[in-house]
Structure formats: C-alpha cells, structure tokens
Chain A
Amino acid sequence: MQKKLPIDYTIVFILGCLFVISLLAIYSGSGQYAFDDPTYFIKRQLVFIVLGFIVMMVVAMFDFELLEKWTWLFYIAGLGLLALVEVIGIERNGSQRWIDLKVTEIQPSEFMKIFLVLHIAMILSKIGKYRLDFKESLFVFMKIMVYMTIPLYLIWRQPDLGTTLMILFSVAALLLISSLSLKLLGILTGIGLTGMGTLVYLFMYRRDILDEFVAPHQMARIYGWLDPETYSRGFGYQLQQALLGIGSGQLSGSGYREGYQVQSGHIPEAHTDFIFAVIGEEFGFIGTSILVVLFFLLIYRIITIALQANSLFGMYICVGVISLLTFQVFQNIGMTIGLMPITGLALPFVSYGGSALLTNMMAIGLVTSVHLRTKSYMFGNDEDE
C-alpha cells in the first residue's frame, strides 16, 4: 500500500484524456491572443497540470478524516481571501475576482467553493445516518445557511453569478442527499421551485421588478441567451458566434486549427470560457460527445467511490465534488450551445486557467483520499462499527 502512488488510476486515466484534449484546444484557441509565442498558453497550462497532479496527490495522501476537524480553518481562510478581493482585488471585464500574486493571479472564489463544500460535508456528516426530525433539521439547515450566505454574498458582489449559482447547486445537492427531515427537504424543494418559477414569471412578465435586483450586464446576458439573433451585436453575439462555430463542426469537425470561427477570432475567450466551442467546431459531434462521455465517466467513478465509502464525511465530499463538477460542466457546455445563459464559468480540467484547475485537482485529491481510505478499511475489520 505504502509504495503505491496515492492515486486512483481510473480517475487519472480520464484526467489524462481530458488534459490532452485541453492542451490541443488551448493551443488552437489561443492563437488569436498569442502575439509572439504560440505555445505561451499551453506551456503555462502544462505547468498548472503538473502542479495540479502534485496538489491532488498531496491532498490524497492526507487522511481526509483528519480534515473533519479543520474544515472551519479552511473556511475562515477562504473568507479572508474573499475579503481581500474586496480590498486589493483586480478588476477585469467589470468583475473584481482576482488577487495578483505577481507570479500569477488567484481567484479566491474558486478555493472557497471547495472549502465551503468541505465544511458543509462536515456539518452534515456530524448528523449521522439517522434521519433527523423536523426541528433538529431546521436548526442544522439554518446553520448551513449562515455558513453559506457569508461567502456567497461576497462572491455575488464581485459579481460572479456563475460561482454563486454553482455553490447554491452544490449546497442543494448536499442537503438533498443528507439525513435532514424529509419534510424540511420537501418544503425546501417547494420553496426552490417556487422561487425559480417566480424568477421565470418576473422575467417573462415583470422585467421591471427584476431589473431592480439584477445588474444590467447580467440581464443582457439572459436576453442574449434567450434571443441570440436579436441581440447578435450585444451579448448574444458571443453565443451566436459560438453556436455557429459548434454547429459548423457537424459530425467530424472542421479539422484541427481549421475552425473558421475560432481561428478568425469570432469566438471570444476561446481558450478559457468558450473552449468547448473550439472542440465543437474543430472536432465535431464526435469530439464533443467523447468529451461529455469522459466527464460522465469521471462522475460515474466518483459516484462509485461515494457508494463504496464507509465514511459519511467521505460520501458527502464526493457528492459535493460531483455537484461542483456537474454544475460547471453542464453550465459551461450548456451556455455555448444555448441551453444556459452565459456566465463566466470555465470548463473543468479543459479551460485554460490555474486557479480553477488547482481547485478541481484539489477536489479530485479529496475524492482519491476517500477512495484510498475506503480501500484500507476493506483490509481492516470494518464490518462492525
């Protein structure tokens, strides 16, 4: 056991495939931004990948059970970083999300989402496996809400709608899977659905009320998403161009570095948020389905680990990671093909960018750790508690 590397080979194999696709797509998609050195972005990304693996293995080596006691520390650290963004953060594209570390920039909201998931997983695992009654549940729920709302508010203010929604999604997933009272979960689900229904209603019929609460640039993105033709010179433009590019890829794609939309610079952020458009246009439906299947296999693998996990904390960690990944993948791909409005979320493991990659690798490291501990238990005497 000790001589083996602290990795799960299935996950590493899937990640390897994703990274190959990522490097290919970044190289193709970043051509328009690279002035002198066309390999600038992939060289940096390669460094991040290596770093990512190291982070993953380091995290995996730790016994995640030990983390249970320290999650609040990470949580506080994350909050600190977020607060720091408020003070010294740098602004880009109208959002203040980054801290300049001179060597690179980090995006604290990326780390915060993992820390928050960890912390909530800890809280939920404390409940144990028995269903709580309504009152107890309500108390736990309120506690979780408080922990969630503080960082969520800071992230919302940046503004970063994508990460906000991602965190909401993950917390919702954790709550639904938890041992909270079914009654409470039912009510929460009801409230959630009613809330979404209200938003849809407001958007359709009372946009003036919505305008009070939503920043104009966010509204515009929603308009652009709903009606790309009309808004094709504004925010819908990005979507319009991405859709055209992906569509023109058809079954087998236009060929590597042959995509007109990508290479002519019509797709914005082709190496980061819109990297899926590169894959869609240049590798076609075959390429995109392989990518989606890879993500699905990754999540399938994590679910398997969660199912096998005999630690509740471990299981919740897996569920948190699954929900984070699922939301990012669905949101990112969804926005480029018109299923979701445009938000600034990267495609995990594929988009260029260090912070997101490191956080995701950290998450995989946690899952690996859960997996490794499960295995070691299997050799031990764990049938009885």
Chain B
Amino acid sequence: MVKKKKKRAQTTMRLNILFLFVFLLFSMLILQLGVVQILNGEEARERLNQTENAKASVAVPRGLIYDADYNLVVDNEPVRSITYTPPKNGDSHRTKIELAESLAQMMEMAPNLDELKALVNERDKKEFWYVYDADNRKLIEERLPETDEELSASELYQLQLDLIEPEDYNYFDWNDPYRLNVAIIKKELDQAMELSPHIIKNENVTDEEYARVSENLSQLPGIDAKIDWNRVYPFNDTFRSFIGNVSDADKGIPRENQDYYLNLGYSWNDRVGESGLEAQYEDVLRGQKEVIQYTINNEGDIVGTKTVQQGQAGSDLVLTIDMDFQQALDEIVKDELEKYIAQDPYRNRHMEDALVAVLDPQTGEVLGMTAAHYDREENTYTNQPHRVVYDAHIPGSSVKGATVLTGYQTGVIDIGTVLNDRPIKIAGTPLKKSWRTFGLINDLRALEQSSNVYMFEIAMRIATARYSYNEPLRSFDTSSFQTMRNYFQQFGLGSKTGIDLPFEATGYVGTNIIDGGLLLDFAIGQYDTYTTLQLAQYVSTIANDGYRLAPHIVKEQRQANGDKATLGPIVNSQSPQLLNKIDMDERYIERVQQGFRLAATSGTGRGHWANNPYNVAIKTGTAQNEFFVDGEKQYTNNLTLVGYAPYEEPELAFAIIVPRAGVGNDQNGIHHNIGNRLIDAYFDIKEQKATNN
C-alpha cells in the first residue's frame, strides 16, 4: 500500500508538472497575442490602412504666340503619339509581351522590313527570347557554369545573354515583320518608368494606327493614344532667337535647375521653355497640367483615382512686335550691311554686325529688334537678333545727351552755358579735341555739332579738376566716375533695361577710376560699353521727357480658347512700366531734345536727315574701336546712331550700332541709311495698315 501511494503521488506530480508546462506554453501564446493584437494592434492597423498617394500629370497644350497684329508667330502642330504608362512597380515581362503582341497588330514601328530589322539587334533578340518564356530562363540558368565567383546582377545578366545561342532566339522568325514589331514595341515598353508616360511611337503615326489603338484602349492596360504637339514657327527665323526654344520630352527639365522645376510640380520629362520668351513666360505658356491622384495601398494596388487639379491650357502671348515691321527691319539691316561690305570689302574687313533696337518711347513696347551678322568664312548673312541685348559696344558721341543732362543735373552747367572748345592736352595722354575747334559754343551747339571738348569740360567740372595745358589734372575727384555713371544709369546706360527676357547684358564698366583722362573719354562714350537696347532706352527716355520705361516684348496674355483664328479674353495686359523719372526740370530735357533735333536738321546728321519728312531727332556717334589682329593694330569705328521721330510726339525711338566699320567717310552712311529706311518702313506699314482697316 505504501509503495502504491508513493507511486500514485509520483505519477500525479509528474502529470501536474506536465500540466503546468502546458499552462505556461498557453500563457505564452495569450501573452504574445496580447502584444501583437493589443499593444501593437493599432500600429498594424495603421500599416494596413497606409496608402500612398501618387500623382500623375496629363500635359496640356502650350500657349501660342501672336504678333501685335494677331498673326501667329508660334504655333502648335499636333503630333499623334502612342504612350505607355506602367503601373506602380511596373508590369511583368509576360504582361508587356502580351501588350506588345496586341499593339503589333495595330501599328508598325517602321515603314518596311529592312528598317524594322535595323531596329532589332542581336542583343534585342536574345533579350526578347530570354524573357519570352520562363522555360527559356530556366534553360539558360541550367547552362550557367558552376562558379564561386560573386557576380553582380549586371555581370550575371551579361553572362546569361552570352549563353544564348542563335538557335535559341531563332526560335522566332526574325524575318516576320510582326515578330520584329513585337520585339521593338517590347523594347520601348521596357524603357518606361512606373506611373510615367513613355512614348512608344510619335512619328508618322497614321490615322489608321491612331484610330485602331484608340478604339482598343480598354484592352490595352497602360497604353494611351495621345495628341502631343510640336512648336512651329510660321515666320521662320524672324525674331526667332528672342522667342527661344522649348525642350523636348527626352531632354525634359534642365538638370542644372531641376530642384526649382520639380518644386513647381514639373516632372522629369516635361517640356519647358529653355530660352527667350519661352523661358521668360514659361509660367504663362505652360498652363496647368491636369493632375490625377492615385491612391495606392501598401501592396501597390491602385485603389482610387481622383482629379485633384483641372487642366488648363497655357495662355497665349501677344507680342508688341508687328512681324511685318520686324521682317522689314531684318531686311533693311541685312541689306545695308551686305551693301557696305560689298562696297568696300577691304576697308570693311572687320565689319560683320549691324544691330538695331526700336522702341515705342511712350509705352516701352519693343517695336523691333534685329541684328544681321556676316559670317566671313561661310560668306553668309544670318539673323541674330539676340545680339541686341547680348552684345555691348563702345557707343561714341551718341551718349552726349546723357553727358549734357548730367551736367545740368549736377549744376556744373545750365541752359545756355558757353564753354571754350579748344584742344585739351593732359600730361601723358594724347591730345583730346573735337572734330573741329569750335571756340566758344553753348550747350545746344555742342549737341548739334557733337563737341567733344564741351563734354570734357562738363566731366572736369564734375570731377572738380583743375586743368592746365599739358599738366596732369589737379584735385581730380575719383568719385566722379561713380557720379557720372549714376546719372547715366538713370537713362539705362550701364544698368539693366528691365526687358522681359531671361537674360540681358549691361555692358563693360571701366575699372580705372584714377586716370582723369578716362573720365573725359567716358563723357564722350569712349570708355564704358552699352548694348543696343540700352542705347535705345536712353534715347527713348529723352524722347519721353525723362520717363524711363522698361522695354517689353509681350503686350498681352490671353486665355487659350482652342481656336487659332480668334483670340481668347485678355488675362493680363502689360501697361508701361516706369523704372524711374529723370529728376530735373522739364526744360532741361527739352533743351537736349532741341539739340538732337538740330543735329538732324543742321548738325552732324544734316546731310542724311535734312530731307526726312518725319521730323527726326538724332545723335550720331563714331567711336574709335581699336584692336589687334595677329599683333597688328586695327583701326575701326563703331558707328552709332540714336534718335526718335516724330520730334513733337515721338512714336518710335531707335538705336543703331554698326561695330567695326572701316575708317573713312564712305562708311558713314550705313547707320544713317538704316535709320532712314527703318523710319520710312515704320510709317509706311502704319499707313498701309490704317488704309486697310
């Protein structure tokens, strides 16, 4: 009995231990369940509900550009394209092959068999065969040699491709156009990135192909038939370099500014204005893409779509430029340049540019800008209007209006101040004089006759310098350079004009401020350089009674209405933009205006301008432009001309620069000819249009 009791107790105890063990195990389960479901449950639920929003954009047509007369300057030409947008995480090879097989029945990737064959190389055939079937992949994997070498993914892939023999991929008939099309389309599909449309074909998509694909879109997941556009320019290269360029879909947004564009909601392959007005007015022209938001759950399935932003086609631009006038201007400038070079090829051997800017002085509207450029080696003349804002030249006497006004404004001269025009000799510099020694002359005659010495006197007075013949300038105030430049900048000389272009040059600013002789040179436009547009703004400011306006090329922004013949409502109209007003009594400006008028009627330009019927006011300039070619000093002149007409109520102001003209009186006609002809052309076209209407 005793033994039995002991045994019983033993078994019971062992079973109880077993029971305790089971109890512990089950407690662990409950405990872990508590951790998973209660403690971490919230997090798990959130992770399950976690969705990602991906946005996809649909491009809208870019805005068109019209000239002042509402003729199309930049048009959109529709281009049909077939695109493929892979889903999140991409499609499988199998799906893509099936897609390619469907598409190959609807479209041709090249017009004939030879061209199709040219698009499929051996590697393409291998890759196509390799991904076509899982058995093929298995076959190649079996062929892989045993190796301990660690291969990178790309090395392994290359090795696998090397193992594919012609008898493998020749399983397909590579003379069959259908098979070739499938392979080419498959290759395009492979290049697409998830959720981003990739163009499969956008050249020569026929009506039939487009229709067939469009009708079957529902059976072609990810495929879309779209109409894209290309920029076309009905006026060819007229004003072309100001219009600028738009990147293509391959290039997309500029990489150097990618963050800027990405922040603005661009995607990598968005087309964007790269230069000129296309870049300047990018935000207007691009419009607003339609943005569709896809909601994607944690497994990459799209569970919802929503249009978060309605698309809006880009607004159209209307230019201040009348393309008839612009074309006439191009023709005049090219014609004159060609004529003068042909007339004296040796003396004009360095002449290769003629630049013109024409503004409406009352509004700042750019009426025309042109630059003809002669390529001596190619013996061709090209239209390079951007030089008007990019290239700066020494202007010569054209700036004397600014010098005289600076004299008035600093109080060193007044209306009617008489000064002695005689040769000036500063120790260590060449003799400085006017083209003729005028003796005692007043401000008006100084402008009319383009007296250099009058300007030197103004500069010396501003610099508080005491002059004695062949002695250095004494008590020269070096801050006078800055003083004069500050006044010049009020006219736009040496400052930005504020034109609506992404870039403009401001010219060279001399750095030597100790040499008083250079200040004298500055006063007659022989030191700092200016662009043609700066000169045009300067004369325009004088013509406009001291109001400096920012030149602009775009007059209006109009809402796109989908119709090229009529314009949509005005979204934004560019009113004259006042940069500054010359801070002085109006009679001073009138005095300079009189001087400019006299220059045309009885002064330096008399011979060229006396008979012009449009009451022109001008100021000429002949800047010595010396430079070295092969160690030999070359003497040329920059011929400049600024002016406006009509004198009483100016409608146009212009600046003309013909750099590096040959030295001699023969050449002096070119800028005057251009000036005369452009004024004639302007008023002719104006009259013609008035009668037509």
* A contact residues vs B (CB 8 Å cutoff): 129-130, 173, 176-177, 243-251, 260-261, 264, 266, 280, 284-285, 288-289, 292, 295-296, 299-300, 303, 306-307, 315, 319, 322, 326, 329-330, 333-334, 337-339, 385
Which residues of chain A are within 8 angstroms of B38 by Cβ–Cβ distance? 250-251, 285
Q: Contact at B33–A292, with CB atoms within 8 Å?
A: yes
Q: Which of B43-51, B123-131, B198-206 contacts A (4 or more CB under 8 A)?
A: B43-51
Determine how close the nearest CB of chain B comes to the CB of A21; give it in whole angstroms: 15
Given A177-B14, A307-B15, A319-B15, check contact A333 B41 (CB 8 Å): no
Known: A266-B299, A296-B26, A339-B28. A315 touches B47 (CB 8 A): no
- Least Cβ–Cβ distance between B217 and chain A, in angstroms: 27
| Distance, CA A383 to CA B28, complexed state (A) | 40
Nearest CB of chain A from residue B51's CB, rounded to whole Å: 12
Say whether A303 contacts B19, CB under 8 Å. yes
B232 within 8 A of A: no
Cβ-closest chain A residue relative to B35: A337
In the complex, A246 Cα to B40 Cα: how many Å? 10
| CB-based contact A306/B23 at 8 Å | no
Q: How far is the CA of A250 from the CA of B45 in the complex (A)?
A: 8
In the complex, what residue of chain A is closest to B41 when comparing beta carbons?
A: A250
| A interface: dominant SS | helix
- Interface hub of A173, A296, A329 (most chain B Cβ within 10 A): A296
The verdict on A251 contacting B37 (CB below 8 Å), with A243-B44, A334-B29 known, is yes
B239-261 contacts to A, CB under 8 A, are none
Q: Is the CB of A244 within 8 A of B33?
A: no
CB–CB A284/B7 < 8 A: no
Cα distance, A358 to B23, chains bound together (Å) = 26
Partner pick for A330 among B18, B19, B25, B42, CB 8 A cutoff: B25
Q: Can you name 10 A-B pairs with beta carbons within 8 Å?
A: A176-B14, A177-B11, A247-B43, A266-B299, A296-B22, A299-B22, A303-B22, A322-B22, A326-B25, A338-B32
Q: Do A250 and B22 touch (CB < 8 A)?
A: no
Pair B40/A247 contact, Cβ less than 8 Å: yes
Contact between chains at B25 and A261 (CB < 8 Å): no
Q: Is A247 in contact with B36, judged by CB distance below 8 angstroms?
A: yes
B562 close to A (CB within 8 Å) = no
Q: What is the bound-complex CA distance between A174 and B40, given in angstroms?
A: 38
Asked if A306 and B15 sit within 8 Å, CB to CB, the answer is yes
Nearest chain A CB to B116 CB, angstrom units: 39
Residues in B whose Cβ lies below 8 Å from that of A339: 28-29, 32
Q: Which chain B residues border A306 with CB–CB below 8 Å?
A: 15
Contact B22 A285 (CB under 8 A): no
Instruction: Say whether A246 contacts B36, CB under 8 Å.
Output: yes
0 or 1 for each of B47-58: is its CB under 8 Å from A? (1 = yes): 110000000000
* Beta-carbon nearest neighbor of B298 in chain A: A244
A73 to B624, CA, bound (A): 123
User: Knowing A177-B18, A292-B30, A334-B29 touch, does A130 contact B7 (C-beta < 8 A)?
Assistant: yes
Q: B43 → chain A, closest Cβ, in Å?
A: 7
Closest A-chain residue to B26, C-beta based? A296
With A177-B15, A307-B15, A338-B36 known as contacts, the answer to whether A248 contacts B48 (CB < 8 A) is yes
Size of B's binding interface in residues, CB under 8 A: 31
Bound complex: CA A315 to CA B10 (Å): 13
Contacts of B11 in A (CB 8 A): 129, 177, 315
Chain B neighbourhood of A177, CB < 8 A: 11, 14-15, 18
B residues 630-677 near A (Cβ < 8 Å) are: none
- A96: shortest Cβ distance to chain B, in Å? 21
Which of the residues A173, A248, A322, A326 comes within 8 Å of B45, measured between beta carbons?
A248
CA distance A333 to B31 in the complex (A): 12
When distances are taken between beta carbons in the complex, the residues of chain A under 8 Å from B37 are 246-247, 249-251, 280, 284-285, 288
Q: Does B34 contact A (CB under 8 A)?
A: yes
Determine the chain B residues whose CB is within 8 A of the CB of A264 once the complex forms.
299
- Do A296 and B23 touch across chains, with their CB atoms under 8 A apart? yes
Main secondary structure of the interface of B (DSSP, over half): helix
Q: Is A322 within 8 A of B48, CB to CB?
A: no
Q: Which of B29, B30, B37, B41 gathers the greatest number of chain A CB atoms within 10 Å?
A: B37
**A246 to B41, alpha carbons, bound, how many Å?**
8
A303 partner, pick from B15, B36, B41, B299, beta carbons under 8 A: B15
- Using A288-B33, A288-B37, A337-B36 as known contacts, say yes or no to A248 and B44 having CB atoms under 8 A apart: yes
Residue B12, interface by CB 8 Å: yes
| Interface contact A244-B29, CB-CB below 8 Å | no
Name the A residues within 8 Å of B40 (CB-CB): 247
Do residues B18 and A303 form an inter-chain contact, with CB atoms below 8 A?
A: yes
Q: A247-B45, A299-B19 are in contact. List 12 more A-B contacts (CB 8 A).
A: A247-B36, A250-B44, A251-B37, A251-B41, A292-B29, A299-B22, A303-B22, A322-B18, A330-B25, A330-B29, A334-B28, A337-B32
Tell me which of B7, B18, B23 contacts A173 (CB under 8 A): B18
Instruction: Write the chain A residue with the least CB distance to B299.
Output: A266
Q: Which residues of B contact A260 (CB under 8 A)?
A: 48
Residues of B near any A CB (own CB < 8 A) = 4, 7, 10-12, 14-15, 18-19, 22-23, 25-26, 28-30, 32-34, 36-38, 40-45, 47-48, 299
Least CB distance, B505 to chain A, in whole angstroms: 58
Q: For the complex formed, measure the closest distance between the CB of B177 and the CB atoms of chain A, giving whole angstroms.
A: 40
Choose among B7, B22, B44 the residue with the greatest number of A CB atoms under 10 Å from its CB: B22
Chain B residues whose C-beta falls within 8 Å of the C-beta of A284 in the assembled complex: 37
By the criterion CB–CB under 8 Å, are B26 and A243 in contact? Answer: no
Contact residues in B for A333 (Cβ distance below 8 Å): 29, 33
Residue of A nearest to B14 (CB): A177
Q: Which residues of B contact A289 (CB under 8 A)?
A: 30, 33
Whether A247 and B18, one on each chain, are in contact in the complex, defined by CB atoms closer than 8 angstroms, is no
CB neighbours of A246 from chain B (8 A): 33, 36-37, 44
**B12 touching A307 by the CB < 8 A rule?**
yes
Going nearest first, the 10 A-B pairs with the smallest beta carbon separation are A247-B44, A250-B41, A285-B37, A248-B45, A129-B7, A248-B44, A248-B48, A296-B26, A177-B14, A303-B19
- Contact indicator B41/A248 (Cβ below 8 Å): yes
Q: Which of chain B's residues have a CB closer than 8 A to the CB of A337?
A: 29, 32-33, 36
Complex Cα distance A129/B3, Å? 10
- Alpha-carbon distance A305/B44, docked complex (angstroms): 41
The complex places the Cα of A329 from the Cα of B25 at a distance, in Å, of 10
Q: How far in angstroms is the closest Cβ of chain B from A336?
A: 9
Bound together, the chains give a CA A259 to CA B143 distance in angstroms of 45
Taking a contact as CB atoms under 8 Å apart, the answer to whether B48 and A261 are in contact is: yes
Least distance between B590 CB and chain A CB atoms (Å): 83
> Within the complex, what minimum Cβ distance (angstroms) separates B665 from chain A?
86
Q: Which residues of B contact A247 (CB under 8 A)?
A: 36-37, 40-41, 43-45
Q: Which residue of B lies closest to A280 (CB)?
A: B37
- A285 near B34 with CB under 8 A, answer yes
What residue in chain A is nearest B37 (Cβ atoms)?
A285
Give the nearest-CB partner of B301 in chain A: A264
Known contacts A280-B37, A303-B18, A337-B33; is-contact A292 B26 (Cβ 8 Å): yes
Q: Taking CB as reference atom, which chain A residue is nearest B39?
A: A247
Which residues of the partner chain A approach B10 to less than 8 Å between Cβ atoms?
129
Q: Give Cα distance in the complex from A173 to B15, angstroms.
A: 10
The answer on a CB contact under 8 Å between B26 and A295 is yes
| Residues of A close to B26: CB separation below 8 A | 292, 295-296, 299, 329-330
Bound Cα distance from A305 to B336, whole angstroms: 120
A303 to chain B: closest residue by CB:
B19
Contact partners of B14 in chain A: CB under 8 A: 176-177
B658 to chain A, nearest CB (A): 72
Minimal beta-carbon separation of A84 from chain B (angstroms): 31
- Which of the listed residues B11, B42, B47 has the most CB atoms from chain A within 10 Å of its own CB? B11
B15 to chain A, nearest CB (A): 6
User: Which residue of the partner chain B has the closest CB to A129?
Assistant: B7
Separation of A260 and B37 alpha carbons in the complex (Å) = 15
Chain A residues near B33 (CB, 8 Å)? 246, 280, 285, 288-289, 292, 333, 337
**Least CB distance, A306 to chain B, in whole angstroms:** 6
Closest chain B residue to A312, Cβ basis: B11
CB distance from B118 to the nearest CB of A (A): 40
- Which residues of B are found within 8 Å of A296, using beta-carbon distances? 22-23, 26
Closest A residue to B45 by CB, please name it: A248
